[in-house]
Amino acid sequence: MAAKRKRGALAAGKAKRARSAPSAGEALPEGGPPQEHSGPPQEYSIPPPVSQGKWKNKERVLIFSSRGINFRTRHLMQDLRTLMPHSKADTKMDRKDQLFVINEVCEMKNCNKCIFFEAKKKQDLYMWLSNTPQGPSAKFLVQNIHTLAELKMTGNCLRGSRPLLSFDPMFDREPHYALLKELFIQIFSTPQYHPKSQPFVDHVFTFTITDERIWFRNYQIIEEDASLVEIGPRFVLNLIKIFQGSFGGPTLYENPHYQSPNMHRRLVRLSVAAKFREKQQVKEVQKIKKKGTKVLVEEDPTEVVFETPAEEKPVEIQLVKPETKPIVKDKKKLRKIQRKKQKKLFRTEG
């Protein structure tokens, strides 16, 4: 049996030396260990992979919502967390809390950007995009929501891959759209060399301005010729206001084309009521016309031409009282009486 190695035996013997790199003029012997050099050992290290860069742009986005959201908003929020590997989640916020409390929540979560979904009346959804804690921040009304599971698109992208951001040329023409463009870039773009991201670019986020609204779409790049297939989610952002601070402060821009959901529903009700009143007025006018005095038309003398007088029948005066017919309720008895009368007539004639 081999003898057990005692503790400290390595210290008594020769210590291990780091393998030295061979010089340029020397070659290693074939099939044998490297030869020892008389000079000091030269240590060398393997360089790290080129893909592992330094994570400098440490953008973290907090995505959460208030209480009272429906299932569609919850799925949309989960889709954004899936598409944005640099995002963080948090519990739902109480409705009674003020919005400036979100700045403290972002500070505790170590986030410098925030996407907050605010639900009102269980049917209206608002989205806040904010740069915490200095600002600016923007408030949108979210419309026409379609989630990843609902669309059932054929496209599919790698989880955690970095997206390309495509913007409408209108973003460079107006100052408030230029501010929103910078806010979208800082929030939706995945930082390079993020630990949870993948070194691939296989989908595109598009922001298009149509009908005074911002339309968000997500497409997958499936071919080298940049052919696209929509993945989802999709939604429409109707800008309300842009604030100087985070979740408040002086108003930098207010959308003059914005119409609140309450006003829209009120106008719909008023239009339905106006149609109903119009129908009622038409019915009342028709009733008044029917009750009105009729205009008498003068007689036409030519109508008498086609009239033919009826023949006069002679007037017959009946002097004899007609025989009373017996009232018999039973039909069988009536038939018997008629037969008896017929028999009497036959006897008298015979």
**Domain layout of the chain by residue ranges:** 61-264
Q: What is the per-residue pLDDT for 24?
A: 44
Mean pLDDT of 153-165: 83
What is the percent of the chain with per-residue pLDDT over 70, rounded to a whole number? 83
Measured from the Cβ of residue 118, the count of other Cβ atoms closer than 10 Å reads 19
Q: What is the per-residue pLDDT for 18?
A: 44
Tell me the one-letter amino acid at 286.
Answer: Q
Decide if pLDDT at 127 tops 90.
Answer: yes
Q: What is the per-residue pLDDT for 159?
A: 85
Split at pLDDT 50, 70, 90, the class of 177 is very high
Mean pLDDT of 133-151: 89
Split at pLDDT 50, 70, 90, the class of 46 is low
Q: What is the per-residue pLDDT for 129?
A: 94
Task: Provide the mean pLDDT of the chain.
Answer: 82
CA nearest 140: which of 97, 81, 180?
A: 180
Identify the DSSP state of 306.
G
Q: What is the per-residue pLDDT for 289?
A: 84
Residues 341, 342, 345, 349, Cα dihedral to 10°: -170
Split at pLDDT 50, 70, 90, the class of 14 is very low
Mean pLDDT of 12-28: 45
The Cα 233–Cα 152 span in angstroms is: 10
Q: What is the per-residue pLDDT for 16?
A: 45
Decide if pLDDT at 157 tops 80.
Answer: yes
Higher pLDDT residue, 316 or 234? 234
- CA triple 336-340-345, angle to 5 deg: 150
Q: What is the per-residue pLDDT for 27?
A: 45
Mean pLDDT of 145-170: 85
CA nearest 231: which of 244, 216, 252, 245?
A: 216
Identify the DSSP state of 93.
B
Q: What is the pLDDT of residues 256-300, one digit of tens each?
A: 999 998 999 999 999 999 999 999 999 999 888 888 766 677 788
CA nearest 247: which of 100, 119, 92?
A: 100
User: H helices of 128-260, where?
Assistant: 148-151, 175-188
The Cα 176–Cα 257 span in angstroms is: 14
The Cα 139–Cα 180 span in angstroms is: 11
pTM of structure? 0.64
Decide if pLDDT at 224 tops 80.
Answer: no
Q: What is the pLDDT of residues 52-110, one digit of tens each?
A: 678 877 889 999 999 989 999 999 999 999 999 999 999 998 888 888 899 999 999 99
CATH tag for 61-264 (out of 3.40.228.10, 3.40.50.720, 3.40.50.10480, 3.30.70.141): 3.40.50.10480
The Cα 340–Cα 325 span in angstroms is: 15
Which helix (DSSP H) or strand (DSSP E) does residue 343 occupy?
helix 331-349
Higher pLDDT residue, 313 or 180? 180
